[in-house]
Structure 1
């Protein structure tokens, strides 16, 4: 049965509305009154509660990323302590800390392929299997090689979860909730870091690994109960029935699901499934290349603002700063601040959008890093002169400010936009590549941090991070698009919108008239 095309508008030239008949596309004319605005045909807001629950279930697995980040910080001191069940040296400890970052980019690429091939839900289920196996291997390890493999698998899972969780959340949520719900992935990561710091202060390293495996199993079970992405069901499966059923599960009875399905069908018909060659061609088009360059640059700038250096080297940084606060207590405090401001950032994104929060991060991180480096210089001067350091609370305050500012924008915005800015047909693949770049930039920054300290001194390193953060403000102003309140179709079209010609005093004909369907010679019903 054919689906009639409906032209939705409040006013037209001549105050007439053309209704299209499904059989003959016959024109019917009558005056268009204000009451005939066809508001009933516009998608209504669905149940916020249902969308929140589905988004939560899809993002439980993102906690594994935080678990991977935090595990080395709390487990390495235990593994290096005398009497450890498995004693390691400093060289082995560095590999345990970094090997997960090798698996993460691999997971990003793999999940990007699977997200489009088998669907969002199945990919979310599959991502938890390497994490469960990896954490169990670490917990039962009898040699350091087992820990290497387990950390690699956990990192692989961490990379795999990034793109599908965000893409899925964007596709099942409506525009008024999408910004908040897409931030759940960042909340999950921050929650994982905090849980790892807290649990690591109580549990030994192998029991902590089993605890992590239990959380990954919980994420696997949660993903079983979510519906498949309606956008994927239409674009890849052409299954309107399942698409409608999926939408009903994440909306409510007051939401006009039929119109939303019709919109997805119409959009999909204009974006038919592509072969590998055509998909590669689409990846090279402006609608994909432009947002890819914007997001990858965003990731690089945010990482070289010191974003995750503080997370991975928190204990050493606090110790070198001259603060008198216990370094482990300070680490837990930073974990709590990260979680708190991740939640606050998601709420602020709903109100202020992506660019505003990015400004907060770039300016806040820049100033706090410069001040932190300045205090370290002054601390070294006091130390060389034999003077007791003063205001030892300043470095912790600077780091807390840095954590709060970076979390609000840097840790949320680019990950949310991965699920927003790419064309539907290549969203999974390019989203995975973008996530890969994000994690690879993390690996590079972590590897270059000791090199920077050696060549530019410790205070100089933080000065560099501060300057990069401040300079990224200009990039955000010039290139970062604002996606708040826009549909995914509107965002995609914004990257290929052509400049309108100068029409001078010519008569302007509304786009809605030009876009009216032309009579077709043969209509199949």
Structure 2
């Protein structure tokens, strides 16, 4: 039977019906796949792969990011122990404490640059394996330290490992997952960092000696090393290296048997041919770095990191115990610190889920405004507390605790997730490794700068002045984000690259059009 379509052409109904399996059909043998509300014929494969496989691969690739959080949280619990007299090691002053806090961030940028080169030279997987070695060595050196210099060197090695793991973990996740999962899974690294911070805070609250905490911390990069051996190399890197068959095998492992990996592999190859993607030479890398598609997103992310660091995020993280103590809050300083770590972890997970629904711009605005306001409130409280007469008890001590907890919530909703997620998706495939490393290098240099200068700011403008400065920077940053931060939610890596290279004018999805009916059936008639 045939009927007339809206265009006037004849459509064979039997051929049309053969394309879709009827809902009442009894399925025998090969199962029927579902793609949305459509039931495909037996043997057909989905375009989307197994979510479980992609989640597991992403989690295994990101275990090493927990080490970054532990590097951040360790000074908060170790420094108070080392500042106590008769601590069994040596009593340190605040400037030695600032070196313990900041030295890991000083070597992290070098780790970022090194991993950026290694990612494009030897691959994402092998780079993830190598990154764990300095981290393990650093923690073991701190655990066995007999001099302050050994702690310094250990912190530098831990920082080197932290810098090396950031970019490959995020780039691996960006390349190994499909667009519908990428936004959420790319935030796993930020969850790992928050989990690492909480781990150190919790161990410190249990009054475990700092050497034992360092020994326990070495187990995390050791586990990450094992997991890095178990995951496949990313399909994008294999295609850029000309290893087409290996890329298909990698896709099969990451997507599962029900996914049409041949279709995705063909799309990767077509994109590689269209953009002349291959394993680049040093000259090609330099040329690629100087293209708008590379330097424009770098400019945006570099300023993003600088703004969010000078909003006070890591001074609060690195000096949490000291800040709670200085605020005059009646709550136990260790309990308050652990509570901050728990809040940070919970809302990092919440933020990871909201990324897919809300996008990156709204969450960034939430951070910039929320962090700005809470820092100004904390600074104002500290100002009035400093004006108290000697021996006069501070009032409303719930204010600094509440301000710090709300600051933590605001910071993780955008600042601690969004820019790290964007590292894995905004750069061209040809230089994604190098630019990812350069961006994380810039980010961690900003961390070193703000953590090292925090004690100096305390001396120059006092505690409340430092917090006022951080709050002002965050609020002013809102204007930069409004005008320059693009929204990448739901867009493919190819869409994002085309946007930054100038091939498209916007990343906004086109508005749906009202499509005409494909088939018009005469009134009173029904499909057989």
**Pair 1:36–1:493, CA change in 2 (3 A):** farther
Say which SS state the counterpart of residue 334 (structure 2) adopts. helix
Match of 1:78 in 2: 81
Aligned positions of 1:302-381 closer than 5 A: 302-381=308-387
Match of 2:518 in 1: none
The yes-or-no answer on 1:200 pairing with 2:237 is no
One of 228, 232, 246 as aligned partner of 2:233: 228
The yes-or-no answer on 1:58 pairing with 2:26 is no
Match of 2:512 in 1: none
One of 453, 458, 462 as aligned partner of 1:453: 458
Match of 1:256 in 2: 260
Following the alignment from structure 1 to structure 2, what is the Cα–Cα distance between the partners of residues 248 and 51?
Answer: 11
Question: Unaligned regions of 5+ residues in structure 2, if any?
Answer: 1-6, 10-14, 21-34, 506-528
Q: CA RMSD in A?
A: 2.5
**Pair 1:424–1:201, CA change in 2 (3 A):** same
The yes-or-no answer on 1:272 pairing with 2:277 is yes
Match of 1:20 in 2: none
| TM-score, reference length from structure 2 | 0.85
Post-superposition shift, 1:380?
A: 3.2
**Pair 1:93–1:303, CA change in 2 (3 A):** closer
**Pair 1:82–1:450, CA change in 2 (3 A):** closer
Match of 1:24 in 2: none
Following the alignment from structure 1 to structure 2, what is the Cα–Cα distance between the partners of residues 198 and 280?
Answer: 45
The yes-or-no answer on 1:158 pairing with 2:159 is no
Match of 2:52 in 1: 49
Post-superposition shift, 1:134?
A: 1.2
One of 293, 298, 309 as aligned partner of 1:292: 298
The yes-or-no answer on 1:469 pairing with 2:484 is no
Post-superposition shift, 1:112?
A: 0.5
Match of 2:502 in 1: 497
Say which SS state the counterpart of residue 125 (structure 1) adopts. helix
The answer to whether the 8 Å contact 1:358/1:410 transfers is yes
Question: Unaligned regions of 5+ residues in structure 1, if any?
Answer: 1-12, 16-31, 501-525
**Pair 1:458–1:145, CA change in 2 (3 A):** closer
The answer to whether the 8 Å contact 1:420/1:488 transfers is yes
One of 411, 415, 420 as aligned partner of 1:415: 420
Match of 2:152 in 1: 148
One of 420, 427, 433 as aligned partner of 2:432: 427
**Pair 1:304–1:42, CA change in 2 (3 A):** farther
Following the alignment from structure 1 to structure 2, what is the Cα–Cα distance between the partners of residues 186 and 275?
Answer: 32
Post-superposition Cα deviations, 1:288-310, rounded to whole Å, max 9, x if no partner, equal 11100000000001111111111
Aligned length: 472
Match of 1:137 in 2: 141
Following the alignment from structure 1 to structure 2, what is the Cα–Cα distance between the partners of residues 251 and 204?
Answer: 45
| TM-score, reference length from structure 1 | 0.85
